[in-house]
Amino acid sequence: MADPEVATKAPESDAAEATQPATSSDTPAQTNPTMGEHCTSDRPTPTGQSSTGEITQLGGVDVYISKPSEYPHAPARLLLLLTGGTGVKSVNNQIQADKFASEGFVVVMPDLFGGDAAPNASTTSEGEDAEPASPSLLEQFKLKAAEAAKSFLIDMWLARHTQEKVMPILHKVIDACKEEFADAVSNGDGIYAVGYCFGGRYILLLASEKEQEQGWAQPQPDEEAGTIRKGPFIKVGALAHATLVSPDDFEGLKAPINMVCVENDPLFPDEVRKAGEDYLSKNNVDHQVKVYPHVPHGFAVVGEYEDAAIRAAQATAFDQMLQWLKDH
């Protein structure tokens, strides 16, 4: 691929162009067509890092909240952070929220899964091989059986956490944020949002003006107009290596969208990305897309990698999303 970067509307850093192919220990085997290992298990937490926020409740939903050190004495903006399958109790996800908080955002990270985080798809620790170099026939059989079991568990988990279940959670949290952090919402003239893996698709749904389908969010009637509320529910959104996205999810998008993508990502195929870009361009929706080569799906979430090139791409992706938020 001669030009691995696809960008529209605004230029981005060229740092990721220097990346090299990932080592085998850093590249997960994509055995499930809808959710990969990086969607359901964390990388090792970077040495010496820990989270600083707290888990509480908003609108009856468990949320992790991280605030700028000077808030509320200094103004801040409200950022909704939607996680992958590892959920709100993941230390890496919490540190990711803290990183945005240190940049002037009150970050609210909701539990999208009601305490039911995704089944851990990896039991391999840092530096270990996922399988022997030359597995015997018995070992190969055991490996395939284990992968089939993982796939089944993840499919069952996904069946429990559908759009009809997740959207009501998001609406409860958004409504509660408008009350609890009215100053931050007002200061930013709306709600900012970022999403990773599983959470990436819901950034698109929240950025859309499409009318809500039956069973989505039990929307409340607008008392003045007597109509059902519709989106967009966020001012601006950014997503990284989203999963479960279809071309239809781009329909009705109105809020500016930034996308961090992985080259040749089977969980966010090129044809889906290109269909989304075409829709955004034809409908004059402000957007930016950057495709990162030689990185695994999930690379933009806080986590330790041996490969320095992946670490550099992770930092670049964060800067890309952060700058997009600050520019809007």
The 10s digit of each residue's pLDDT in 36-51 is 677 788 999 999 999 9
- For the chain, give every domain's residue range: 15-121+134-327
Q: Which helix (H) or strand (E) holds 58?
A: strand 54-58
Spatial contact of 302 and 44, defined as CB atoms under 8 Å apart: no
**Mutual angle of helices 163-180 and 198-206, in 10-degree steps:** 70
Task: Give the model confidence (pLDDT) of 213-270 as tens digits.
Answer: 544 444 454 444 444 668 899 999 999 999 999 999 999 999 999 999 999 999 999 9
Which among 118, 152, 96, 97 is positioned nearest to 38, based on CA atoms? 118
Distances (CA, A) of 33 to 42, 118, 164, 244: 19, 15, 21, 9
Correct CATH for 15-121+134-327 of 3.30.365.10, 3.20.20.60, 3.40.50.1820, 2.160.10.10: 3.40.50.1820
pLDDT of 19 over the 60 cut = no
Distance of alpha carbon 210 from alpha carbon 192, whole angstroms:
19
Mean pLDDT over each residue of the chain, to the nearest integer: 83
pTM of the prediction?
0.81
Question: Which pLDDT band holds residue 67 (cuts at 50, 70, 90)?
Answer: very high
